[in-house]
Amino acid sequence: MNRSALLATFAVTALAVAPAVAADALDRVLLAQESMDDLFEDDGTAPAATPSEPAATEAASEDAGSAESVDDLFGEPEPAAPAAAETPGEDAGNAESVEGLFGEPAPPAPASTAAAPASVPERQPAVRVSGFYQNEFAYTVPEDGHFSKLRNIFKLRLNGAFNGRIKWQLGGHFEYDPVFEFETFYNDRVEDDEKVFGYVDESYVDIDADNWEFRLGRQHIVWGEMVGLFFADVISALDLREFVLPDFDLIRIPQWAARAEYFNGDFHGEFVYIPIMTVDNLGVFGADYYPFPIELPPGVRGVFLDDKAPRSGWDDFGAGARASYLKNGWDVSLFYYTSPDKTAALDRRIGLAPTPTVTFKPIHERIHQLGSTLAKDFGSFVLKAEAIQTFNRLMSVERLSDLDGLVETDELRYVIGADWAGETGHNVNVQFFQTWFQDHDRDMLFKELETGVSILLTTSSWHPDVTPEILWIRSLDRNEWVLQTKISWDFAEDWRATLGGDVFGGPPTGLFGQFDDTDRIYTELRFSF
C-alpha cells in the first residue's frame, strides 16, 4: 500500500464514518409511630380506611413524584396547618419534602417516657475504584510491513478520604504486549523495554486548608493547554515510545512532587518542588519511534546506551512557581521552572580502536524556563497562546570535530491557537507555532527559526456516539508532516472502539520525516469503570 492511497483511505474513513435526617427528629418520629411501616405500609390489621385515607396516600405519591431536584427532596418544608397532624397518613399526604414527612410530630403524651437519643455511628468514607482496560492493535505498513503492537493496558485508581479536608488517591499503570511472542522484526532490547511495562500512576494525598490546597505524592502538573503540542507543559514527563501519537491520558507520566496552591478570588498561585525527577521515556534504539535520526557510515559500529534519569541528588531537583489571574474573561499566567531537562540530549563519544565505534548516551542537563499562557473565551470562539523562553538547552550538531556532538543554546517557543465550536457539533482548532534558536549553530539539525501549523477537526453532528477526528501538523520550513485520523464509537455504556491511522512524511533527519517508515493502521478497544 503506497502512502498516497493510505492517506486517502484514512481521510475518507474519518470523514465518512466521522451524585440526614437529624437524629433528634428521627427519635421524635419513632415516639409517634412504632416503625416506618406505620408510615408506608398496610400491615393488614388496621381498621377499614375512611374515604379520605386513599386520597391522602395518593397525594403522598404525587408529591414524591413531583420533586424536581435533590433540593426539593431535602428542602425546608412549608409550615403545616393545625389540622395536618391528625394522623400519620395525613401528614404523609401533605408532606412536600422528606423533611416534611419526618417533621415535628404532635408532642407525646405526658405519660410517655422519652427514649434516649439513638447513637448514630460515624460513617466511614468509602473507597472509589475507577480506571480502564484498553487493548491496542497496530500494523505498520511500509515495505517491511509488520505487526507493531498488541498492547494491553490496565490503569487503576483508588480514591478515598480520611475526613472532609484530607483525601487520597492510589494509582497504577501496567502494560503487557504479546506481539513479541510471534513478531521477529524488533531486537531484544525493544522486547525487554516494551513487552512488560508499568509505573506508579498518580498516588497522592490532598490537604484542604481554606485558601490553600496541598498535594503530596506522584501527580500530574499541567501548565499548558494547546492541542498536540507541549510547549508550556514543562513539568509533566512524556511517554514518547510512540512519539506524540497517544491520547493525553496515556502520554503524560506523573512526577513525584510537593505542590501548594493558593486561591484568592480571581488569583491563583502555585508552588512546585520535585525531589526525584521523572524524565521523558524515549524507548530504546530499534523501536519504531526512537527520536534520534542517526546514520552511521559503513564500517562504523554504533553503541546506544539506555536513557538514565537524573541521579535524584540535591542538584537534580525540579522547582517552580506559577501565578495566574482571571479578569474580564482573560486568563493570564506567568511561571518559572528549573530542572534537569526532561527531554534528553544525545551525547556522542567516538572511539577508533580496535573498531571505529560511536557511543551515544542520552543526558539531562539543567535548564531554566520562563513562560506565559493566555486564554480568552468569546462564546463559541476561544483564543489561546503560550510563550516559553528556555535557557541552556543542549542541541545536537552533525560535525565530527565537536567531540560530544552537542552545543548549548537558548530558545524561544510560542504558539497561538483558536478553538471554534459550532452549534451543529463541528469543532475546529487551528494553531501557529515557532521556535527560535537564539544561539543557532549552522550544523544543528534545525533552522534558526522553525515554523509550523496544526489543524484539528472533529464532529459529533452525524451521531452523538460517533466522533471522527483529523489532526494535521506540518512544518512550513521543510516538506514534513504527520497526519492522524481516527473515528471513535461509544457503542455501549463504558465501552469505546476506535479505528485510526498515522501517516508521516518528510526528510529522514526531520522531526516528522524520521518516522517516514512507520506509517500504521490501528484499533483500540477501551472499557472504563
Q: Residue 118: its pLDDT value, please?
A: 52
pLDDT band at 375 (very low <50, low <70, confident <90, very high): very high
More confident residue, 118 or 45: 118
- At 302 the three-state DSSP class reads strand
- At 458 the three-state DSSP class reads strand
460's CB contacts (< 8 A; 6+ apart) are 425, 466, 467
CATH number among 2.40.10.170, 2.40.160.10, 3.40.50.300, 2.30.30.90, domain 3-16+128-528 = 2.40.160.10
More confident residue, 407 or 51: 407
64-85 mean pLDDT? 40
- Report percent pLDDT > 90 for the chain: 59
Q: Residue 414: its pLDDT value, please?
A: 97
Assess contact for 431 and 415: CB atoms under 8 A.
Answer: yes
Whole-number mean pLDDT of the chain?
Answer: 81
- At 389 the three-state DSSP class reads strand
Point out the least confidently predicted range of 202-206, 361-365, 486-490: 361-365
All structural domains of the chain with their residue ranges: 3-16+128-528, 23-101
Residue 224 pLDDT more than 70? yes
193-205 mean pLDDT? 96
Residue 279 pLDDT more than 90? yes
Residue 255 pLDDT more than 90? yes
Q: Residue 303: its pLDDT value, please?
A: 87
Residue 27 has which C-alpha cell?
Answer: 427519635
331: exposed, middle or buried (C-beta count within 10 Å: 0-12, 13-18, 19+)?
A: middle
Q: pTM of the predicted model, to two decimals?
A: 0.74
Assess contact for 251 and 239: CB atoms under 8 A.
Answer: yes
More confident residue, 92 or 107: 107
Phi, psi at residue 399, to the nearest 5°?
A: -70, 140
180-191 mean pLDDT? 93
**161-173 residue pLDDT tens:** 999 999 999 999 9
User: DSSP letters along 472-497, please?
Assistant: EEEETTTTEEEEEEEEEEEEETTEEE
Q: Residue 13: its pLDDT value, please?
A: 36
**415-436 residue pLDDT tens:** 999 999 988 889 999 999 999 9
Length of the chain, in residues:
529
Residue 63 has which C-alpha cell?
Answer: 408529591
User: DSSP letters along 495-527, please?
Assistant: EEEEEEEEEEES-TTSTTGGGTT--EEEEEEEE
79-85 mean pLDDT? 41
If DSSP states are collapsed to H, E and C, what string results for 351-373? ECCCCCEEEEEEECCEEEEEEEE
Which among 64-68, 457-461, 508-512 has the top mean pLDDT?
Answer: 457-461
Residue 150 pLDDT more than 80? yes
Residue 24 pLDDT more than 50? no
* Dist. CA 345–CA 482, nearest whole Å: 23
Is the peptide bond preceding residue 105 cis, with omega within 30 degrees of 0? no
Residue 322 pLDDT more than 90? yes
